[in-house]
């Protein structure tokens, strides 16, 4: 499976066959040693060993072994059921995150508060998801959850984040795009912007507007929780396992240029970027 990591713990067929004969061989040796032990005891005590005594002893050992196996199987089934529950909850969270993203995408009249609400909710869901994902040990379950997360990210979250632009934000907040000779529109064609890679041009344009227009100083501190949001959905280390099977890399600057520019601008204020729990 594309999204399933190869595991050193997974045994090949010939290894399973080998284990079968190996355990059978060990059982045979145990029976032989047990018989020799009974014979030795009989020779010391002078008692005769009856066949029924041997069978009774073997039956008792078999009963004890069956009990131990039953306990082992019970614990194994318990772990399997736990993995099923964790995987199911993780899948539900990816569905919830996709739904939140789709709903946010429909709101083109967003404000800073709307963006903060979205970031906080997604960060909280991301926190819960990562706790579940890290508890998954079954390779198949992990592969399926990984596939769901990637679908959520590329087909829902990324599209929602692209709705957030510096142009639309200014319009929604009724902010002037021309101020003291500074042209909001001309900046987009400035060489400092066009010389950048195409996928990052919107990010550098947004950052230029925030740096050169005084209103940027006013609105930047109002954004909250960007650090944790980036950690759970774009950080290379945090999302490395979730991105297994794909060659592409996540970059906040390419997917959410406005938020990336805000986050970069906030470094000047040394803001903690802690998310606020929201209902």
**Tokens 């399933």, located at residue:** 4
Helix (H, G, I), strand (E, B) or coil at 10: coil
The two three-digit tokens of residue 46, written as one number: 């002078």
Rounded-to-integer distance, Cα 143 and Cα 5, Å: 7
DSSP string computed for 13-53:
HHHHHHHHHHHHHHHHHHHHHHHHHHHHHHHHH-PPPPHHH
Burial 26-55 (b: 16+ CB within 10 A, else e): eeeeeeeeeeeeeeeeeeeeeeeeeeeeee
Helix (H, G, I), strand (E, B) or coil at 183: strand
Rounded-to-integer distance, Cα 42 and Cα 97, Å: 72
Q: Is the pTM of this model over 0.85?
A: no
Q: How far does CA 65 lie from the centroid of its chain?
A: 40
pLDDT at 47: 57
- Domain regions of the chain by residue span: 13-80, 98-269
**What is the pLDDT tens value at each position of the chain, 279 positions in all?**
444 455 544 455 555 555 555 655 666 676 666 666 666 655 665 555 555 655 666 666 666 666 666 655 656 666 788 899 999 999 999 999 999 999 999 999 999 999 999 999 999 999 999 999 999 998 899 999 999 999 999 999 999 999 999 999 999 999 887 655 566 777 888 888 989 999 999 999 999 999 888 888 899 999 999 999 999 999 999 999 999 888 788 999 999 999 999 999 998 766 555 444 444
Rounded-to-integer distance, Cα 167 and Cα 184, Å: 9
Rounded-to-integer distance, Cα 199 and Cα 92, Å: 32
The two three-digit tokens of residue 113, written as one number: 């508060």
> What backbone torsions phi and psi does residue 256 show, to the nearest 5 degrees?
-135, 70
pLDDT at 175: 87
pLDDT at 131: 96
Rounded-to-integer distance, Cα 9 and Cα 73, Å: 18
DSSP structure class, residue 109? S
The two three-digit tokens of residue 269, written as one number: 């204020």
pLDDT at 51: 55
């Amino acid at each position: 499976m594309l999204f399933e990591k190869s595991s050193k713990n997974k045994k090949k067929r010939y290894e399973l066959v080998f284990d079968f004969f190996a355990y059978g061989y060990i059982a045979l040796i145990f029976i032989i040693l047990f018989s020799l032990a009974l014979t030795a005891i009989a020779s010391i005590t002078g008692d005769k060993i009856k066949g029924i005594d041997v069978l009774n002893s073997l039956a008792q050992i078999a009963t004890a072994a069956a009990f131990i196996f039953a306990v082992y199987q019970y614990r194994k089934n318990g772990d399997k059921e736990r993995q099923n529950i964790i995987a199911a909850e993780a899948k539900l969270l990816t569905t919830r995150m996709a739904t939140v993203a789709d709903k946010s995408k429909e709101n083109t009249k967003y404000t800073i508060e709307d963006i903060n609400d979205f970031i906080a909710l997604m960060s909280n869901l991301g926190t819960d998801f990562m706790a579940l994902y890290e508890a998954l040990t079954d390779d198949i379950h992990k592969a399926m959850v990984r596939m769901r997360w990637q679908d959520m990210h590329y087909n829902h979250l990324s599209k929602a984040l692209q709705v957030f632009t510096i142009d639309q934000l200014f319009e929604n907040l009724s902010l002037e795009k021309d101020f003291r000779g500074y042209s909001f529109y001309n900046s987009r064609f400035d060489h400092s912007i066009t010389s950048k890679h195409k996928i990052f041009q919107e990010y550098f344009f947004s950052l230029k507007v925030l740096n050169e227009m005084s209103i940027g100083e006013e609105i930047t501190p109002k954004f909250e929780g960007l650090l944790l949001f980036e950690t759970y959905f774009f950080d290379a280390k945090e999302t490395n396992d979730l991105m297994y099977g794909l060659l592409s890399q996540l970059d906040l600057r390419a997917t959410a240029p406005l938020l990336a520019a805000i986050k970069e601008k906030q470094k000047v204020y040394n803001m903690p970027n802690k998310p606020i729990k929201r209902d």
